[in-house]
Amino acid sequence: MEKPAGFWIRFLAYFIDGIIVSVPSYIILFIINTVFVAGSVAADPYMTQEEYMVTYMTLAFLPTMLITLVISVLYYGLLTASKMQGTLGKKILGLKVVNEQGERVSVGQGIGRYFAYILSGIIFYIGFIMIAFGEKKGLHDIICKTRVVYK
């Protein structure tokens, strides 16, 4: 059986992944906001603060959040299920994600694991803190029947 990865190395991998995912997200946010601000000011320079906020939320913020969600699902989900068996952060640190039998996870498990990450962070990150205790498994590992081990 492969050695399970502990809290701090997994935290570092997640931190690296956060940087990798945030860069394209911020570039997209910058482009959308630049286009939106220029377009809205040109279209109606006398719009009220309330009108501006409603327009901003529908034309810039919500699409950016949706695009960021898609980027994250593809990055975390597909890389975890790929031959790499984990994200770039995990690969850099010599980790991989496996199922309960020690094999590569399915695409469904990889994508499900991303959404379970969100659940792990909802209440004071307790689902992540669980990794530091017991079987070195977070709530997302338990839900998706996966574990993170050293290569």
Strand partners, 57: none
pLDDT one-digit tens code per residue, 46-99? 888 888 888 878 888 888 889 999 999 999 999 999 999 999 999 999 999 999
pLDDT for the residue 147: 96
| Region of poorest pLDDT, from 38-47, 99-108, 128-137 | 38-47
Contacts of residue 126, defined as CB under 8 A and 6 or more positions apart, other chains included, come to 120, 139
What DSSP state is assigned to residue 110? Answer: H
**Mean pLDDT, rounded, for 114-125:** 93
Strand partners, 148: 97
Pair of tokens at residue 55: 């327009």
Give percent above pLDDT 70 in the chain: 100
* Mean pLDDT estimate for the chain: 92
Residue in the structure block whose two tokens are 């809205």: 40
Q: What amino acid is encoded at 56 in this protein?
A: Y
Contacts of residue 53, defined as CB under 8 A and 6 or more positions apart, other chains included, come to none
